[in-house]
Amino acid sequence: MITLGIDIGGSGIKGALVDTEKGEMVTDRLRIPTPQPAKPQAVIGVLKEIVDHFEYSGPIGVGIPAIVIKGVTHSAANIDDDWIGYASQQAMAEATGCPVVLGNDADVAGLAEMRFGAGQGQLGTVMIFTLGTGIGSAVFVNGRFLPNTELGHLYLRNMKRDAEDYAAERIRDEKNLSWKQWGKRLNTYFQHIEFLFSPELIIIGGGISKKHDEFLPYIKTRATIVPAELRNEAGIVGAAVLAAESS
Ligand code: BGC
């Protein structure tokens, strides 16, 4: 099924048509900067632009950096607080005239990696992390999925701040950290994750995962740790798969 997938990020909103059986984008990706402030009406206006650009009608899958329960967003770490408690899925459907399935951005990226990428056929506990503006997480146990984990918001000992404010890709960029400095921060974070969850496999996604050679060598875990195979496309592909499967 060809389905529109949209990934709402802290800096860009990206969409493409996806072949959901193959897990592949079948058009170029359209990227529109995220409106600032990223309030619901402004962001939903961009979704409408993306739908119009592809002259699309049909189910739409959308990933958003928030906790999503039954179409309602319940947190807003890198978007405007107006999303908290907002019936986002319904508002998106009304604005676009298409049925919308909304999920957490890291959850849908994780779904794509499990189905088509580095997690294919992997049993045991598999954890997918997206490193970007924040740190997103998705957890699968024997292929079954635990939604809405927010492991970027763990507190690390003595840090007095969320882990994502210490180790996200945004922090590497803002603080101009060397790969080694950032790698050490990631090592602290993933060793703590490993202590808490003992996963068999950790998959690292987000745009920066294409530079995995620079930072993965600093992360020493018992678990196998690998870059995502769908890289930055996982969010779009996973969102489309979620919508295709729910319709
Ligand atoms: C948000 C998550 C999101 C992650 C990656 C975090 O700040 O709380 O919901 O998955 O960023 O975008």
DSSP state string for 115-159: HHSTTTT--SEEEEEEESSSEEEEEEETTEEETT--GGGPBPTTT
Output the CA 181–ligand 1 centroid distance in Å. 23
Residue owning the nearest CA to atom 10 of ligand 1: 136
Output the CA 150–ligand 1 centroid distance in Å. 7
Question: Which residue of 78, 102, 107, 165 sits with most ligand 1 atoms within 8 Å of its CB, as the best mutation to test the pocket?
Answer: 78
φ and ψ at residue 18, rounded to 5 degrees? -130, 135
Are residues 50 and 73 part of one domain?
Answer: yes
Model pLDDT, residue 205: 96
Q: Where are the alpha helices (DSSP H) in the chain?
A: 40-53, 88-96, 105-116, 164-167, 169-174, 179-197, 212-215, 234-246
CA distances from 220 to 116, 130, 177, 189, 216 (A): 26, 18, 19, 11, 8
Are residues 89 and 63 part of one domain?
Answer: yes
User: Does residue 199's CB lie within 6 angstroms of at least one atom of ligand 1?
Assistant: no
Are residues 142 and 87 part of one domain?
Answer: no
User: Does residue 137's CB lie within 6 angstroms of at least one atom of ligand 1?
Assistant: no
In a domain, 178, yes or no: yes
Are residues 130 and 64 part of one domain?
Answer: no
Residue owning the nearest CA to atom 11 of ligand 1: 134
Question: Which residue of 14, 73, 104 sits with most ligand 1 atoms within 8 Å of its CB, as the best mutation to test the pocket?
Answer: 104
Model pLDDT, residue 46: 98
Are residues 151 and 96 part of one domain?
Answer: no
Residue numbers of the chain with a pLDDT score lower than 70: none
Model pLDDT, residue 231: 81
Are residues 223 and 122 part of one domain?
Answer: yes
In a domain, 218, yes or no: yes
Q: Enter the tokens of residue 142.
A: 């024997």
CA dihedral of residues 236, 162, 156, 7 (deg, nearest 10): 0
Question: Closest Cα to residue 114, out of 131, 135, 139?
Answer: 139
Structural domain boundaries enclosing 57: 2-105+239-246
Are residues 186 and 144 part of one domain?
Answer: yes
Model pLDDT, residue 61: 98
Question: Closest Cα to residue 133, out of 207, 233, 69?
Answer: 207
In a domain, 113, yes or no: no
Are residues 59 and 153 part of one domain?
Answer: no
In a domain, 112, yes or no: no
Are residues 99 and 171 part of one domain?
Answer: no
The enclosing domain of 21 has a CATH number of 3.30.420.40
What is the Cα–Cα distance from 71 to 181, expressed in whole angstroms?
Answer: 39
Output the CA 77–ligand 1 centroid distance in Å. 6
In a domain, 110, yes or no: no
User: Does residue 150's CB lie within 6 angstroms of at least one atom of ligand 1?
Assistant: yes
Total number of domains in the chain? 2
Are residues 161 and 88 part of one domain?
Answer: no
CA distances from 160 to 6, 99, 115, 130, 144 (A): 34, 41, 36, 22, 33
Are residues 143 and 101 part of one domain?
Answer: no
In a domain, 171, yes or no: yes
In a domain, 62, yes or no: yes
User: Does residue 75's CB lie within 6 angstroms of at least one atom of ligand 1?
Assistant: yes
Helix axes 105-116, 234-246, angle to 10 degrees: 90
Are residues 135 and 95 part of one domain?
Answer: no
What is the Cα–Cα distance from 197 to 192, expressed in whole angstroms?
Answer: 9
In a domain, 223, yes or no: yes
